Chains A and B, each alone.
Chain A
Amino acid sequence: MMATTYPSARVFGVRVRSVTGMWFHHALVFKRTWLTAMTWYFIEPFVILVAIGVGVGTLVNDVEGVPYAQFVTPGVIVGSAMFHSIFECSWGSFFRMQKGVYETVLTAPVSVREIAMGDMSWAMTRGIITAICITAVAAALGWVNSFSGIGLLLAAAMVGVQFGAVGLIFAALAPNVHTLSLTFTVVATPLYFFSGAFFPISILPDWVEPIAWAAPLTPAVHLARGFITADLGLSHLFSALYIIGLTALLFPIAAILLRRRLVK
């Protein structure tokens, strides 16, 4: 049999094909499951959006100068991106680890860091997909009034990468699948409800406020809200930088923990 070598481009030592290859793997899975997955991408956030936006919205006045439905839309979008991303990289990655899928991938010229990047790139994609679905609905309902609403996809993408790293950390640390439910009960759900998605942070007690602002989803909600209302300022730039900084911190931790688990 002939010897073949497969040249592959590197960027800062990262083999590009490893990352796109992981992404492609996930896309193949998505191609087979998208119809049922859509309920998750679309129907669930849609129900939340309408139930809370319209239902609760009729009971409350405008919040921060916008109707309640419009107020919750950005939070529901980035929140949904967070749930998708964290699910992909905690449960999804944990099972790929258990089933030996990562071990197989590592028999190709792929590094653990590249696996982490590939999974996070797919987590980002999931964030974008769900953001597109919900933004379309919200726009049809008249809750997204500006072209800057496209920026919601950017916020969702950033959340996708950020919580992809969070999910991977949990996957790499979890001794068993039961521990993984902590990602939702301890991380995702509290973050969702205290991120300023459903009420302004300013109504929280003074001492809680700084904590709520530092919580990882809050800046994304703030950023998304800036995009949806086309009212962007320096605080939004800080939010974006905070997300990027947090991701830059979390990613190497995720890669190291995953490596410790896979390479012995």
Chain B
Amino acid sequence: MKSDGDTTVIRASNITKRFGKTTAVDGVSFEVRRGETYGLLGPNGAGKTTTMRMMSGLSPITSGKLTVAGIDVSSQPREVRNVLGVVTQQDGLDTDLTARDNLIAYGFIAGLSPAQARRRADAVLMFFNLTEKSRDEIDSLSGGMKRRLAIARSFMTEPQVVVLDEPTTGLDPQGRNRVWQELETMKEAGVTVFMSTHYMEEAAALCDRLAVMHHGKILDQGAPDELVARRAGPEVALVRVANGVRKDVVNWIENQGFNCRDAGPVITVTASNGQRPDLSGLQGVRISYRPSNLEDVFLSMTGVTLTDDE
């Protein structure tokens, strides 16, 4: 196997995916280093799943070049899957098998011997605190446990990179917390994780670096705090104003050169110069400040929120 010579494990340059007239992924480039957790943050339809499917060789790339551990995905789609563990958006567990048998069946088809598959399944179940559930029916497991089991399955082959599509979507807060804990354990074990999410808390909590994705394009990438500092400043201002003067206030703020989003009960204001927006000239309104977050980054770049369904 070729070594990249540096620590880069995943290298995507200018990858594009078209479905007929739809361009799902539009010339995206990024690099993921060994051992880091890299995230794609974007709303539904941003192109996250398509990017991950291309990476796992499940979806042919229209143009561009994508390599994982030096293996070209387009020319060696099978070989790539030897070094990847993939958790698809659907858990993809077979409800006709027990939890443990799901892992064993996967391990065997991936290339382990039956004895290796059984040993590995027990080790992986223990690692993800699922030993008690070994013999359980899939239908009797909670959503969070199914997700953890699907993650455990991706570990059957000791992958170099784990690809996780929306690891906690649809889970209750408790289930989400458990999954986050397991992902934290994975990080500590030194696994490279490539994940997608539309929860900014999740991206902030888990990702070392992330790409903000919208309409098939990467708008910016970097460490979460870096992105926040660059795009939204340390704090955003929340302006409460009577409806009568609302329009005037918005005009005033925009004339000052601030980003202004007039949605919901408050007007949210971010400064693009990396400072806290100075609204001291504004009279007759109530202003409060809160620390900026990734949601503000996304809003300031796209004008929509991560949970807006388009």
Interface segment among B107-115, B198-206, B233-241, B290-298: the answer is B107-115
Residue of B nearest to A18 (CB): B109
Residues of B within 8 A of A (CB-CB), count: 46
List the 5 closest pairs (A to B, CB-CB), nearest first: A6-B111, A21-B109, A104-B92, A100-B92, A100-B90
Q: Which residues of B contact A99 (CB under 8 A)?
A: 90, 92-95
A1, chain B: closest CB distance, angstroms: 5
Residue of B nearest to A19 (CB): B109
Residue of A nearest to B192 (CB): A1
Beyond A1-B189, A109-B110, whether A29 also contacts B82 by CB under 8 A is no
Q: Is B123 an interface residue (CB 8 A)?
A: no
Q: Is A28 an interface residue (CB 8 A)?
A: yes
Residue of A nearest to B138 (CB): A99
Q: Is B153 an interface residue (CB 8 A)?
A: yes
Q: Is B208 an interface residue (CB 8 A)?
A: no
Instruction: Identify which of B53, B84, B91, B110 gathers the most chain A CB atoms within 10 Å of its CB.
Output: B110
Whether A264 lies near B19 (C-beta < 8 A) is: yes
Whether B160 lies near A106 (C-beta < 8 A) is: no
Q: In chain A between 90 and 113, which residues have their CB closer than 8 angstroms to a CB of chain B?
A: 96, 99-101, 103-111
A-facing mask of B211-241, CB < 8 A → 1, else 0? Answer: 0000000000000000000000000000000
CA distance A48 to B1 in the complex (A): 59
Whether B82 lies near A5 (C-beta < 8 A) is: yes
Interface segment among B97-105, B171-179, B266-274: the answer is B97-105
Q: Which residues of A contact B153 (CB under 8 A)?
A: 104
Q: Is A25 an interface residue (CB 8 A)?
A: yes
Residues of A within 8 A of B (CB-CB), count: 34
Whether B81 lies near A108 (C-beta < 8 A) is: yes
A123, chain B: closest CB distance, angstroms: 16
Q: Is B106 an interface residue (CB 8 A)?
A: yes
Q: Is B303 an interface residue (CB 8 A)?
A: no
Whether A4 lies near B158 (C-beta < 8 A) is: yes
A81, chain B: closest CB distance, angstroms: 21
Q: Which residues of A contact B88 (CB under 8 A)?
A: 100, 103-104, 107
Whether B101 lies near A6 (C-beta < 8 A) is: no
Interchain Cβ contacts within 8 Å, total number? 111
Q: Pick the contact of A21 from B97, B108, B191 — CB < 8 Å?
A: B108
CA distance A19 to B22 in the complex (A): 35
Q: Which residues of A contact B59 (CB under 8 A)?
A: 263-264
Whether A1 lies near B160 (C-beta < 8 A) is: yes
A-facing mask of B181-202, CB < 8 A → 1, else 0? Answer: 0000000011100000000000
A33, chain B: closest CB distance, angstroms: 7
Q: Which residues of B contact A109 (CB under 8 A)?
A: 78-79, 81-82, 110-111
Q: Is A8 an interface residue (CB 8 A)?
A: yes
Can you list 7 A-B contacts with CB-CB less than 8 angstroms, sorted by A residue number?
A6-B157, A24-B109, A25-B109, A103-B90, A106-B56, A109-B78, A264-B19
Q: Pick the contact of A32 from B92, B96, B111, B112 — CB < 8 Å?
A: B96
Q: Is A3 an interface residue (CB 8 A)?
A: yes
Whether B58 lies near A107 (C-beta < 8 A) is: yes
Q: In chain A between 52 and 92, which residues have their CB closer than 8 angstroms to a CB of chain B?
A: none
Whether A108 lies near B109 (C-beta < 8 A) is: yes
B43, chain A: closest CB distance, angstroms: 21
Q: Is B83 an interface residue (CB 8 A)?
A: yes
Whether A3 lies near B160 (C-beta < 8 A) is: yes
Q: Is B64 an interface residue (CB 8 A)?
A: no
CA distance A110 to B111 in the complex (A): 10
CA distance A109 to B94 in the complex (A): 18
Whether A108 lies near B106 (C-beta < 8 A) is: yes
Whether A28 lies near B83 (C-beta < 8 A) is: no
Q: Which residues of A contact B78 (CB under 8 A)?
A: 15, 109, 111
CA distance A1 to B84 in the complex (A): 12
Q: Is B27 an interface residue (CB 8 A)?
A: no
Q: Which residues of A contact B96 (CB under 8 A)?
A: 29, 32-33
Residue of B nearest to A115 (CB): B109
Whether B158 lies near A2 (C-beta < 8 A) is: yes
A212, chain B: closest CB distance, angstroms: 37
Q: Is B86 an interface residue (CB 8 A)?
A: yes
Q: Which residues of A contact B189 (CB under 8 A)?
A: 1
CA distance A61 to B138 in the complex (A): 54
Instruction: Identify which of B90, B98, B111 gathers the most chain A CB atoms within 10 Å of its CB.
Output: B111
Q: Pick the contact of B101 from A4, A28, A100, A264 — CB < 8 Å?
A: A28
